[in-house]
Structure 1
Amino acid sequence: MESFSSIECFVRSAEVGSFAEAARRLSLTPAAVGKNVARLEARLGVRLFQRSTRRLTLTEAGQRFLREVASSFQTIQYAVANLASGEGQPAGTLKVSMGTVFGRLYIVPLLAEFIQRYPAISPDWHFDNRQIDLIGQGFDAAIGGGFDLPQGVVARKLTPAHRILVAAPAFLAQHPTIRQPTDLQALDGILIRSPQTGRVRSWPLTNRQQEQVPLGIRQRMTMSDSEAACAVAQQGLGVALVSMPFALPYLQAGSLVRVLPEWYVDDGSICLYYAEHKLLPGKTRAFVDFIIEQFAAQGLAQRFSALL
């Protein structure tokens, strides 16, 4: 029977295409990873990788072997992680990716209770607005919206992802009353530029009757972050189209008010992403259940809905 460490080095190297990167994630040296893979190849009698100075590429035999062992390897890894949990309690490093501002506003405040409930879990939380490769980069979970759903990853809906129009009361006082979407055409707009694509998306506005009209606001400036757009709108510089979670603190403080409150942009859902597997590590299952519980207890799905 081949050693678990040799197979682990092979699987991780195949995922990232590099002995050096696999070594970093496994806390080994690149030489140790390379020797483990070479030992596995010698035992199997086949070459698993084509090696170059830039990247590892799986051979046909390597691709076939990866398909056959990857699922079983993950099951064994999860079983070991769960068995190693101290006194049956979830334990280990919990690597989670989430949006910078969303995480700070709505996930970080939950940390104290989470740690109190699961003291053997060590959070390793990454704040980034870019989409990550959850499995390839070794994350246990991710929170966000608009993720591509690769094979092996599931999404649990947490809240709707609605965008709304907001402006400062002083700005609205200086302009004619906005009664319908066509009234926006004469106003300065603060729009969001995608940090991934660099483009400003053409959003349709939707009302409660599911009627849609184009968002015909004049593009005065763009931001790559909804929280920044809220801060700019607060200065009276225009009407901003922003994500509801970021607008909420400003709306509650009264520094921004909704424009055309019957209209909004439907941007899908904010979801909790994690690997699809019957035997999740205890730490991941604990985090998933905790976040779903807390979002329900705080009514965040209702608070983030533009329809209420």
Structure 2
Amino acid sequence: MDSTQHVRAMLSFVQAADRGSFAAAARHLGVSPAAVGKSITSLEAALGVRLINRTTRSLQLTEEGQLFLLKAREAIDALDAAVDVVTNQRTQPLGKVRISTSNGFGRHFLLPLLPRLIALYPGITPEIEFDDHQVDIVRSGFDLALRGGTIEDSALVARKIHTMQMVLVASPTYLAAHGIPRHLPDLADHRLIAVRFLGGRTSSWDIEDGGGEAFLPHPAALTLSDPEAAMIAAADGLGIAQVGLHYAWPLIREGRLRILLGDRLRSASREMVLLYPHRALIAARVRATIDFLTQEFGKIESLHVKAADLAAYRCG
């Protein structure tokens, strides 16, 4: 007998023993009495012992049958418990949730939300990997990812978190010492902070130069490999940097950074999105995490700054 036949035979045997007849067991299982009898006979043949002494009026378990009944019930209980575990995880937010996120967004916006997520769903165990490289979510086994830029993988479900807006910034101290650039050519006389990624590409600035060409901060007075470090360098008076508004907004509000050439900034089609592989049959632990993060990200001021909010913080 294979495993499937063993399970079917055990169910027939346990029901027959509990209900006192093949007919009653068959009604409960939705099969014929002959099918119940055949399953039990096959089980006895496989075990090499008789489990039930049968007469036309009653069933009597043998000593071996009584022992087997105890073990069969343990096996069926274990099977029911396995089904319950999976069912509970499907209906209740329980288990590990693997999240891939960039370093900056993960530190600034995801980590502060985790205490509330865990308090709301104590059965969820977040497992977060910080990586600024694009990852294959499915192949790497992630439940979801937080990624910014131009998202092209149509096989993934993408829920928009916010539109990514870049701004040029410098500190009041730097501007007092070097002057305020009011036109694009003025940047040639300033200290420019460039971001060069580990792959060797220097990030262009989202400035309308009139020629349709990407503006590169060249020559750069300072080159860094981390966008957040460029923002800190600008706040410390080391020069002008292009930074994500969602990162810089608290420093802008505090007066530590001012926005430059606001009228020359162009809007790039970049978004921060929450990505996950499937629309249907999402585990409750993943669905609860997605819904929670989407709702909480919607409340964060830095992620939803409007153009009108920037006017008071622009120079020139």
| Distance apart, 1:101 and its partner CA | 2.3
Sort the Cα spacing of 1:82 and 1:300 in 2 relative to 1 into closer, same or farther, 3 A.
farther
Sort the Cα spacing of 1:152 and 1:110 in 2 relative to 1 into closer, same or farther, 3 A.
same
Name the structure 1 match of 2:6. Answer: none
2:138 to 131, 135, 139: 135
**Pairwise CA RMSD:** 3.1
Conserved 8 A contact 1:181-1:215: no
* Residues 216-254 of structure 1, C-alpha deviations (whole Å, 9 max, x = no match): 643222212111001111222210111222212322332
Sort the Cα spacing of 1:230 and 1:299 in 2 relative to 1 into closer, same or farther, 3 A.
closer
Q: Does 2:122 align with 1:119?
A: yes
Sort the Cα spacing of 1:192 and 1:228 in 2 relative to 1 into closer, same or farther, 3 A.
same
Count how many residue pairs are aligned between Structure 1 and Structure 2.
228
Q: Does 2:188 align with 1:185?
A: yes
| Distance apart, 1:255 and its partner CA | 1.9
SS of 1:255 mapped into structure 2:
coil
Unmatched tracts of structure 2, length 5 or more: 4-82, 311-316
SS of 1:135 mapped into structure 2:
helix
Q: Does 2:298 align with 1:296?
A: yes
Same amino acid, percent of matched pairs: 32
Name the structure 1 match of 2:31. Answer: none
Name the structure 2 match of 1:157. Answer: 160
SS of 1:222 mapped into structure 2:
strand
Unmatched tracts of structure 1, length 5 or more: 4-78
* Greater than 6 Å deviation, 4+ residue runs: 79-82, 210-213, 304-307
Conserved 8 A contact 1:206-1:263: yes
SS of 1:190 mapped into structure 2:
strand
Conserved 8 A contact 2:247-2:302: no
* Structure with the largest fraction of helix: 2
How many Å separate the matches in 2 of 1:149 and 1:242? 23
Name the structure 1 match of 2:201. Answer: 199
Conserved 8 A contact 1:181-1:260: yes
TM-score (structure 1 length as normaliser): 0.65
Whose radius of gyration is greater, 1 or 2?
Answer: 2
Name the structure 2 match of 1:173. Answer: 176
Q: Does 2:213 align with 1:230?
A: no
* Structure with the largest fraction of strand: 1
TM-score (structure 2 length as normaliser): 0.64
How many Å separate the matches in 1 of 2:241 and 2:225? 12
Conserved 8 A contact 2:100-2:129: yes
